[in-house]
Each structure stands twice: as C-alpha cells, then as structure tokens.
Structure 1
Amino acid sequence: MAYWYNIQTKQVETDENRSRNDDVMGPYETEAEASNAIASAQQNTEKWDAEDRAWEGEDDLED
C-alpha cells in the first residue's frame, strides 16, 4: 500500500482514500514518511539549492 500527504488537509491518505487532485505528495512507502513529507521536501530543496550554487560557482563568491 502507498501513502500520500494531502497538503490542504494536512492528513496522510492511502490508495483507498487518496484525493485525486494536485493537493497530494507521494507516494511514500510508510505512513511516517508521508507524515514527514513537508519537512523532507524542504530538506531536499535546501540540499539541491546548495548543489546548484556549488555547480554554478556561487560558493566561491562568498570571500
């Protein structure tokens, strides 16, 4: 079974009761992963932003 996080209701949903719109994030393997969807997305975004800055050489400009 897959789990989904609904960003409007802030509830975890399953395949059986999942909203069929753009308000869900997932799928996730566990309910805990789905519950942590927003924090995981934020961490990934910060990591990818740092990687982009390093790729573009912006980290070298801080001196």
Structure 2
Amino acid sequence: MAYWYNIQTKQVETDENRSRNDDVMGPYATEDEARNALSSAAENTEQWDAEDKAWEGKGATWDDEDLED
C-alpha cells in the first residue's frame, strides 16, 4: 500500500482515499514517511542547494547540449 501526504488537509492518505489533485506528495512506503513529507522535502532541498553551490563553486557549468535526447 502507498501513502500520500495532502498539503491542504495536512493528513496522510492511502491509495483508497487519496485526493486526485496537485495537493498530494508521494507516494511513500510508510505512513510515517508520508507524515514527514514536508520536512523530508525541506531537507532534500537544502541538500540539493548545497550540492548546486559546491558545483558552481568549482566553476562547473552545463548547457542544453550536455543533455541527451
């Protein structure tokens, strides 16, 4: 069973009662993971921002030509 976190209602939802709009985050493997969705997202964003800053600090760049089709 998958779990979802509804950012509007601040409730954990399952596949059976999941909202069908953009207000849900997931899926998560456990109810606890879904309950902590916002803090996990914030932690991930901080980590990715730090990685981006380190990448840019090395003078690394990329452009669309670096991407594969």
TM-score (structure 2 length as normaliser): 0.83
Residue of structure 2 in register with 1:17 after alignment: 17
Q: Tell me by how many angstroms 1:54 deviates.
A: 0.1
2:57 is the alignment partner of 1:57:
yes
**Aligned-pair identity (%):** 83
Give the root-mean-square deviation of aligned CA atoms.
0.9
Runs ≥4 residues deviating over 2 A: none
Shift of 1:8: 0.2
For residue 45 of structure 1, report the CA deviation from its aligned partner. 0.1
1:6 paired to 2:3? no
Q: How many residues align?
A: 58
Whichever structure has more helix as a proportion of its residues is 1
Greater Cα radius of gyration, structure 1 or 2: 2
The 2-side partners of 1:39 and 1:28 are apart by 14
TM-score, length-normalised on structure 1?
0.90
Task: Classify the secondary structure of the residue corresponding to 2:5.
Answer: strand
Gaps of 5+ in 1: 59-63
Secondary structure of 1:18 counterpart: coil
